A and B are shown apart, each in its own frame.
Chain A
């Protein structure tokens, strides 16, 4: 009745193996209270938000040009939840700029919820979460305008970014704004690394919220993710060694 789609069998098997490895590592980490590696810069997020409140300057956040279907955007939204909560806690004003109208609705809900949870719903203002444009460079111009005119103290630009990333980052740099950038797009990462004070590289974007959370389970998931990475490294090494000696069995298995 059910049939595996040809060419995807190895993907299913690999996914199951990775999921089991992640689950086992997570369980082990939860039991033994394992610690994970730190992500530089993330420890200072609170400090930066507090500093912005002291300076009476806003905190700026943008999740990029991706839609709600982009994993990077989803990870950025999880980080926004953390940033919004702490902005409310430290009385720092928050500005969120969006390119995608669906993301706009979600970010508005996240920021509003942070105020509602703190019992300060009345302090939430419509212009905290702004829709700019779906057009890439109209969005870039809008964000650059906000950075120049409203001079935020911190700029979080994490999510799905394309060519506009450097324009935003360089504008922030010119305005001497603390910047945290993050994306999995390898084409844009060099620009983030050269212009941001801290950069979340690749999977750090997904693990950032787990790392920031005090939930031991979330932290142990990072250990699980690392276990998956070890598995991938072992597979790559095995593949490289086998191919070097003229054995293509791994290629045949993965090609199934």
Chain B
């Protein structure tokens, strides 16, 4: 995204060649096959498998970043340093038990880790995962219900023509969804179906077509020019 045009450095040129080469290759693989000579799809799949290796390395660096950020918090006794202690303990305790006794355990045949340790760790991992992690995850997810209610309250205020249309359409969809409203007048269900199938789908497709074209322009720009 450089505003001023500069001459490419050697490193930038190298990166440009790699970016263009890989981008062009993946575009070709999607459209073209070379039967009998090379299985382009297999080459592409193999290249994608390397991404897993990069991802694993990146994950380790991510954990290092997390540890560093929270260690700094604790060292400097920042206002929230206690949370950092909880986070670091949770992170490493869970990691250790997951490595010893979980579906992804490192030594399922007890070659290095004694069977007694695995036996001892299995219920602890189960407790940490199913009784704590899953429940916390569900709790955070369920907050969404309240957030939707407050967002809907704000959105459904007739301040302008657009918000009034939104309010009316929203109410009709809610009524169409509620069994009692359909009992009172079956037309609510038909109106709801029409709103969802036509204006809603048309709007969504418009956004998707625009986004797809945006992706084309954005990708071409990135394929042909570095730095961006």
- Taking Cβ atoms with an 8 Å cutoff, the residues of A that contact B are 1-5, 8, 11-12, 15, 18-19, 22, 69, 71, 74-75, 78, 81-82, 98, 101-102, 104-105, 108, 126-127, 129-132, 134-135, 137-138, 140-141, 145, 149, 163, 166-167, 169-170, 184, 186, 189-191, 193-195, 201-207, 209-210, 212-215, 218, 221, 224-225, 228-229, 232
Contacts and interface: CB of A to CB of B under 8 A. Distances in A.
Contacts of A218: 1, 221
B143 interface: yes
A132 B69 CA distance: 10
A228 B213 contact: yes
B50 interface: no
A186 B68 contact: no
A73 to B, nearest CB: 12
A134 B56 CA distance: 12
Given A4-B31, A101-B61, A205 B147 contact: no
Contacts of A82: 1
B4 to A, nearest CB: 8
A129 B61 CA distance: 12
B33 A225 contact: no
A8 B31 contact: yes
A131 B61 CA distance: 9
Contacts of B72: 126-127
Contacts of A202: 206-208, 210-211, 214
Contacts of B54: 102
B217 A228 contact: yes
A110 B68 CA distance: 19
Given A5-B32, A131-B62, 9 more contacts: A2-B33, A81-B1, A126-B68, A167-B147, A184-B211, A186-B204, A202-B210, A203-B213, A206-B215
A66 to B, nearest CB: 13
A206 B214 contact: yes
A144 B124 CA distance: 29
12 contacts: A75-B214, A127-B68, A127-B69, A127-B72, A149-B79, A166-B147, A194-B151, A194-B154, A201-B207, A228-B217, A229-B210, A232-B213
Given A12-B31, A166-B148, A229-B209, A206 B218 contact: yes
B137 interface: yes
B137 A137 contact: yes
A167 B61 CA distance: 27
Interface residues of B, number: 60
- Would you call the interface of chain A mostly helix, strand, loop, or mixed? helix
B151 A3 contact: no
B34 A209 contact: no
Contacts of A132: 66
B216 interface: yes
A191 B149 CA distance: 11
Interface of B: 1-5, 30-35, 37, 51, 54-55, 58-59, 61-63, 65-66, 68-69, 72-73, 79-80, 83, 137, 140-141, 143-144, 147-148, 150-152, 154-155, 203-204, 206-211, 213-222, 228
B94 to A, nearest CB: 11
Contacts of B221: 210, 218, 221
A152 B224 CA distance: 37
Given A130-B66, A195-B154, A19 B61 contact: no
Given A105-B58, A137-B140, A167-B143, A3 B80 contact: no
B213 A140 contact: no
